[in-house]
A and B are shown apart, each in its own frame.
Chain A
Amino acid sequence: MTPFSVRLFARYAELFGAEQVEVMLPSNARVADLITALRLLPGGAALPAAPFVAVNMARAEPDAPVSPQDEIALLPPLAGG
């Protein structure tokens, strides 16, 4: 198991009470595993079924692989403009 760092923004930063959290995952983890681990953290139960995960600043689907070196971010529904 390896620590994966996840950046949080806006409503999700409020949910988790932090702008960054760490989850422990196997090094061959996928985005879906990351979401499952985030749900287990305090505040994580309120996440929607399929939250927007960005890996290295691009949208990543649940079956996409993630590595501890990636920049991972959990993005609430977008509301710019």
Chain B
Amino acid sequence: MREVILVGLNHRTAPVQLRERISFPEEDLDRYLKELQDLPSLAEGLILSTCNRVEICAATRDPEKGVKEIKSFLAHQHHLSLSEFEDTLYVLQGEELVRHIFRVAASLDSMVVGEPQILGQIKGAYRAAHATRSTGTLLNKLFHKAFSVAKRVRTETSIGNGAVSVSFVAVELAKRIFAHLEGREVLIVGAGEMCELAAQHLVSGGVKRVLVTNRTWERAMELAERFQGEAIPFSELPNALLRTDIVISSTGSPDFVVRREEVSEIIRKRKNSPLFFIDIAVPRDIDPQINTIDNVYLYDIDDLQEVAEANIKDRRQEARRAEAIVATEVEKFCRWYQSLEVVPTIVSLREKMEGMREKELDKTLSALPQLSEKERRAMEALSEAIVKKILHGPITLLKKTGRNSEGELYVDVVKKLFKLDEE
């Protein structure tokens, strides 16, 4: 009977310096998969390699040997000695392994819980393995199930909702204010790194134009160029506020750069068209009082962080619901796996008893040649009935327990009682 094993390391067990040395570059994955297939004890194999984890999942008839081979495969492929990283590796098997794979796919094991990329990465790893014919029935079933569990978690919990980084929070807020970001204009005041990141997210969200203003003209030019935007002199700031929709500010100025009276005037001139200020400077650039003006919205760095933290908290709560889903799915999968073992056990039990019956019957009949055809048939029927009666109990029990967690135990007991493993 094949078993699935997993050997891997992730962001919790290994530092990035090690992870990057052990990772499998995507472009060479086919070659690695072929070499993995060549390992003598493995029947199926799959390599998952992302920046946060490297895991090899395989099906084998000899788990102990399989684990050893995978470990030395890792060392050999990356020209490391096993002792350098062996203690960062985890080895999983059975129910634990199923749970691990389901949790990884559902993004419960990610650094940022609920991040959506991991599912795509696993799907990629599976596709690559499938294409090189490295997967078989067991891994196919396991990974297809993992994908459906991940989908269930996504639709039934809101684990992926709510931005958890400051710059994504800014984008999400913009979407609560504006119907869409396409065609909007964003103005960057100052040129901090955070500004750039937030602006980057807004641009990928569809923002049309980026204006940049800064006290140092060169820096403004530089940043504007990066976004293929437009640099404007700092003195033009009030005019720029008339046409832009979103303002991201992070100057080093000790005073407010934008004041309340100014904004009241501007919002009137803008005919109340909404204006969203994101102030990520410390000390703050924008008078907090402007949040009281209608159609003007202001978030400073603390506000953004608070939103992000609240979202993280929400995700944690959702993660608990997701774990419950994973738990029931793991149980279902394990039951399926056990039932795989129950069926062949029943078959071999029947075969063995049938063989015994035929052998003994032949012996007896050949010792009694004077028996009539009718008597011979009666003896045959008798032996059949006895075997059937004997097997009835064990087979019903196996079938019944195969559906719950005790299945494994009874398969083992039956195998031992009837010495099924000997042939």
Tell me, yes or no, whether A binds B.
no
**Which residues does A use to contact B, with CB under 8 Å?**
none
Hey, which bits of chain B sit against chain A, CB under 8 A? none
